[in-house]
A and B are shown apart, each in its own frame.
Chain A
Amino acid sequence: MSHPTNHRPAGSNVPVFDNTGKMAAIIIGVTAVVAGSVMGAANPFLSNATSSQGAQIDTLFSLFVGIATAIFIIVQGFLLFSIVRFARAPEDEEDGVPLRGNTKLEVFWTAVPALIVVILSVLSYRVLADIERPHPDQMVVEVTGRQYAWEFYYPDYDLKTAELHIPLGRQVLLKITSADVNHAFWVPQMRIKKDAVGGKITTVNITATAPGVYPIVCAELCGAGHAVMRSQVVVEAEPTFQIWVQAQLGAKQRAAAMPPDPKTLGRQLYNQYGCNACHKLADAAAVGVVGPALDGIGSRAADIVPGQSAEEYIRTAIIRPMDFITPNYPPVMPGDYAQRMSQADLEALVQYLLEQK
């Protein structure tokens, strides 16, 4: 390719802002407004939130989606238009129009985005203040995250559980902390998230607006089992919730009054220590899939590690899970049962599992 000259009187044949340019600007602008409104109104990215806080966050989110869509279309629109319109003809060696700036335009595109983000900040602040406003008859639940399970304590009832039950429509204040590393308590359907940090209590409000069962997810990397650190929140109407509470309390009292038979105790411990979250076991109605199913563990435990009896194997598997990792499973079984379980609980659980023939 030869360049007879590398410089010509510039801009001779590229009008800076001709009618085509104006038309394009108008079309891009109108499309941006229309598409922004449609996307903002439809918000196809989120299904309905199931908490009142989540609903407010979603409304804000929709507004952001609308504005982002409009800006997206403006930028991509001008970009695409320029690519098509200002593509150089093959033999055209001229330069473009030497435009070095335009003060009005530059002030405009500094000021307008600044205004937009200030408005978005104000609106965000209002939503934030709203969703964090405490309601006078809050119910308190204390949440503890630990590698890799959640534990819920109801101070009103002196009740401890592995899944969260909350009454529909009543504001619940979660007081969250961690027994070890950082975790984050997240209920995606409710748009609620808060970190669990050791030595600190963080708080978050939830007011459930739809009955149902929603996953609780750990959102802060907390170690090997982070991905499987899940539980669920059960939302039920106030009377049903009260029945559940009474049932739990009754079970607790019965357990305290007379020691249950070994089988019932075993089932109870199995669920209390969260084994059910990871290990399927028909007898305890457990459906976890993270670890191997423990159905029949009593008959096969003796043949797994040479030299270990069935009882020794099961006990070791619980208190020192790293000693032997079952092939094809991730090494994510919690390592702190030796500290968390009383000797009696441990032995009861081992005996219970030995009976699973």
Chain B
Amino acid sequence: MTADTVVGTGLVRHGGRKFSDYLIFNTDHKVIGIQYLVLAFVFFLFGGALAGLIRAQLATPDAQLLTGSSYNVTLTLHGTVMIFLWIIPAFVGAANYVVPLMIGANDMAFPRLNAVSFWLLVPGGLLMLVSFAVGGAESGWTAYPPLSVTTPIGQTLWALALQFIGFSSIFGAINFLVTIFNLRAPGMGLTQMPLLAWAVAATSIIILLGTPVLSGALLMLILQRWLGAQFFTPAGGGNPLLWQNLFWFYSHPAVYIMILPGFGIISEVLPIFARKPIFGYKLIAFSSMAIAVFGFLVWAHHMFTSGMDPFLRVPFMVTSMIIAVPTGVKIFSWLATIWAGKLRFTTSMMFGLAFISMFVIGGLSGIFLASVPIDIHVQDTYFVVAHLHYVLFGGSVMSIFAGLYLWFPKITGRMLDERLGRLHFWLTFMGFNLTFFPQHLAGLQGMPRRVYTYPPELWALNLLSSIGAFLMAIAVLPFLYNALRSLVAGKVAGPNPWRAFGLEWTVSSPPPVHNFPTPPVVEGDPYGYGERPLPGTTGVAAPAPGMAGGE
């Protein structure tokens, strides 16, 4: 089922043959994947610049760079951009590019809908920038009313922007589910699917169940702001906690929208560079699905101090603790995957290993937060800020980079420079820990989140954070330089530079417009290291040993 739109004419195109094909409504999943990735990366730089401003303000207790509303606008935009315009779309972009190739499909199930999803993200992103230009939203990415109904117009544009992004996400999820369940190459049963496909399927289920609730809540917020509806304000019979329930019903699962694809990427990276099959395939696949279901039963852990029903805190505490189990299972399975392997420390692998190491810290601090009595102290403090960055940067962003270094050769046909890659990795890794580890302590010692000034006792910890942030900012430079230079001057990659299993490595790099000139042959799951010969590069038949893998 390919979209044989007339190629190269008018405003609808299919395939990325020339530069302008990437700037237009294009129905090729590979073009769309790149469109997503590039747009998301631009927003990453923007969100990072905002983070830089925040850390500059907080480098000393009483700085005057950003105070009051302007500080609040900055942190709101930073959070919103990083979540909705960087991490989520970056994963959608990566999955868009590789999942159809990995399952042997020629495109996504609905190529035009796929393009629509991307082109909904663009006005969403633009509106977000416009909201900033007119003063911005200033109630945090969580936008709790009543504050979010009293703030200026920027908040309305913020909500409208998220509506666009939400629909983009919903359409994308439908597309991924249909693609993964209907378009697999003949012979690829569910248990031969790459784990990334499982992860994306689980993510899509979460999006389908959760995002409509966010859309509804945003609509209510917009109605309250425009038409004076009183959903969230007690004076008119509304309830501020209603928003919190609706928002977190989406936004806790959204954490998994932001991490499950990362789990999927790590499950691809580790086997390739450990030269071993993934350990515990079924349990990993199953735990993604378990998370997709359980993820909807924990949201009120964000509301333990909100005055919610006191008894209900207990079941929510138990579910929030239990959801750590499927995550723990994955971590142990990954450790077993590298055990007795033949590890190759490519940059992709280093980001992959760092993911395990950092994510586990975020997971452990999550258990603290799940415990109601401990949460009473640490809720809404820098401890939470540290926790969420260990999950979303230490986890999600590390996995995005692991995936970028893995698939860059597939996408561009060129290798990235490994030395620059290592520089990027080490600066990121050190900067990240320096930035976020001290924040646990600042939170425990009394620093609430979202403040532009703090008591002088907390200065040392904050200064460390700010120095770390500076390192992280510098870390981007070698990556940018590397990516741009390698595009033109990188070593030619060939179809399978990593000698990897997986159907995406059986086609040329970059792949032909319609992916598989001849239908691919599936010999098993893509983790046959040490078990069977690598398939050839044509996708027709298993080659004689030695044909595959040209570095």
Residues of A within 8 A of B (CB): 1, 3-7, 10-11, 14-17, 21, 45-47, 54, 56-57, 60-61, 64, 68, 71-72, 75-76, 78-79, 82-83, 86-88, 92, 94-102, 105-106, 109-110, 113-114, 117-118, 120-121, 124-125, 127-128, 131-132, 180-182, 184, 186, 188-189, 191-195, 197-202, 215, 217-228, 289, 328, 330-332
Whether A195 lies near B306 (C-beta < 8 A) is yes
Q: How far is the CA of A88 from the CA of B272 in the complex (A)?
A: 13
Interface residues of B in 463-504 (CB under 8 A from A): 499
Q: Which residues of chain A come closer than 8 Å to B528, judged between CB atoms?
A: 98
* Smallest Cβ-Cβ distance to B341: which chain A residue: A96
Q: Which residues of B contact A222 (CB under 8 A)?
A: 147
Chain B's nearest CB lies how many Å from the CB of A5?
Answer: 4
Q: How far is the CA of A105 from the CA of B336 in the complex (A)?
A: 10
> CA A194 – CA B356 in complex, angstroms?
34
Q: A106-B283, A114-B325, A124-B374 are in contact. Are A215 and B448 (CB under 8 A)?
A: no
Q: Is the CB of B307 within 8 A of A10?
A: no
List CB contacts (< 8 Å) of B310-331 with chain A. 310, 313-314, 317-318, 321-322, 324-325, 328-329, 331
| Subset of 30 A-B contacts with CB under 8 Å | A6-B499, A21-B339, A47-B445, A75-B335, A88-B275, A96-B340, A98-B277, A98-B528, A98-B530, A98-B531, A99-B277, A100-B277, A100-B280, A109-B332, A118-B322, A121-B317, A124-B317, A125-B372, A184-B379, A188-B445, A191-B377, A192-B377, A193-B305, A195-B305, A202-B306, A221-B72, A221-B140, A223-B138, A223-B150, A332-B67
A5-B545 contact, Cβ under 8 Å, with A100-B277, A198-B146 = yes
Minimum Cβ distance to chain B for residue A212 (Å): 14
Residues of B440-456 at the interface with A, using a CB-CB cut-off of 8 Å, are: 440-441, 444-446, 448-455
Interface string of B530-547 (1 = CB under 8 A from A): 111110000000000110
For the complex of A and B, list the 8 residue pairs with the smallest distance between their C-beta atoms, beginning with the closest. A199-B234, A10-B530, A188-B446, A330-B67, A202-B307, A227-B451, A330-B68, A96-B341
Q: What residues on A are CB-neighbors of B150 within 8 Å?
A: 180-181, 223
B379 pairs with A101, CB closer than 8 A: no
Distance in angstroms from A33 CB to nearest chain B CB is: 16
Residues of chain B contacted by A200 (CB below 8 angstroms): 234, 240-241, 307
Task: Check A199 against B546 for contact (C-beta < 8 Å).
Answer: no
- A181 adjacent to B146 (CB under 8 Å): yes
A277–B309 CA distance with the chains assembled, in angstroms: 34
B377 & A57 in contact (Cβ 8 Å cutoff): yes
Q: Which of A47, A61, A224 has the most CB of B within 10 A?
A: A224
Residues on B with C-beta less than 8 A from A215 are 446, 455
- A-B contacts besides A83-B353, A117-B325, A124-B317, 9 pairs, CB < 8 Å: A46-B445, A75-B335, A88-B342, A127-B373, A181-B150, A199-B233, A220-B144, A224-B138, A226-B451
Is A224 a contact partner of B72 (Cβ separation < 8 A)?
A: yes
Cβ–Cβ contact B336 & A113, under 8 A = no
Which one of B307, B336, B376 contacts A192 once the chains associate, using CB atoms below 8 Å?
B376
**Chain A residues positioned under 8 Å from B328 (CB to CB):** 109, 113
Interface digits, B220-257 against A, CB 8 Å rule (1 contact, 0 not)?
Answer: 00000000000001110001110000000000000000
Contacts of B138 in A (CB 8 A): 223-224
Provide the bound-state CA to CA distance between A2 and B80, in Å. 47
In the assembled complex, B7 has its CB within 8 A of some CB on chain A: no
Do A72 and B321 touch across chains, with their CB atoms under 8 A apart? no
Question: Which chain B positions have C-beta within 8 A of A15?
Answer: 340
The winner among B138, B276, B373 for most chain A CB atoms within 10 A is B373
How many chain B residues touch A (Cβ–Cβ < 8 Å)?
104
Given contacts A3-B549, A194-B307, A199-B235, contact A78 B68 (CB under 8 A): no
- B361 sits at the interface (CB 8 A): yes
- Please report the number of residue pairs spanning A and B whose Cβ atoms sit closer than 8 angstroms: 303
Knowing A121-B317, A198-B240 touch, does A182 contact B529 (C-beta < 8 A)? no
Task: Give the docked Cα–Cα distance between A16 and B146 (Å).
Answer: 59
Contact of A101 with B338 at beta-carbon distance under 8 Å, contacts A110-B325, A117-B367, A197-B241 already known: no
Smallest CB-CB separation from A203: which chain B residue?
A: B307
Partner of B376, one of A46, A99, A113, A191: A191
Report Cα–Cα, A78/B353, bound state, in Å.
11
* Interface check B27, CB cutoff 8 A: no
**Alpha-carbon distance A74/B360, docked complex (angstroms):** 11
Question: How far does the alpha carbon of A71 sit from the alpha carbon of B368 in the complex, in Å?
Answer: 13
Q: Which B residue's beta carbon lies closest to that of A176? A: B307
- Alpha-carbon gap, A228 to B448, bound state (A): 11
Within 8 A of A (CB), among B342-377: 342-345, 353, 356-357, 360-361, 364-365, 367-368, 371-374, 376-377
Q: Mark B41-73, 1 if CB is under 8 A from A, else 0.
A: 000000000000000000000101001110110
A221–B450 CB distance below 8 A: yes
Q: Which residues of A contact B339 (CB under 8 A)?
A: 16, 21, 78, 82, 86, 99
- Chain B residues near A101: list those with CB within 8 A: 279-283
Per-residue contact bits, chain B 420-433, to A (CB 8 Å; 1 contact, 0 not): 00000000000000
In the complex, the answer to whether A4 meets B546 with C-beta atoms within 8 Å is yes
- CB-defined contacts of A201 to chain B, threshold 8 Å: 307
Contact A223 B72 (CB under 8 A): yes
- Closest Cβ–Cβ distance, residue B526 to chain A (whole Å): 13
Q: Which of chain B's residues have a CB closer than 8 A to the CB of A17?
A: 340
The 8 Å CB contact of B279, one of A56, A60, A99, A289, is A99
* Cβ of B506 under 8 Å from chain A: no
Min CB gap B420→A, angstroms:
20
Whether A64 and B368, one on each chain, are in contact in the complex, defined by CB atoms closer than 8 angstroms, is yes
**B276 adjacent to A95 (CB under 8 Å):** yes
Q: When the two chains form their complex, are residues A219 and B381 in contact, meaning their CB atoms are under 8 A apart? A: yes
Query: Are B531's CB and A125's CB within 8 A?
Result: no
Decide if B170 is an interface residue (CB 8 Å cutoff): no
Residue on B with the closest CB to A119?
A: B321
Say whether B439 faces chain A, with CB atoms less than 8 Å apart: no
A215 to chain B, nearest CB (A): 7
Cross-chain contact A96 with B342 (CB below 8 angstroms): yes
B548 adjacent to chain A (CB < 8 Å): yes
Collect the chain A residues with CB atoms within 8 Å of residue B235's CB. Answer: 198-199
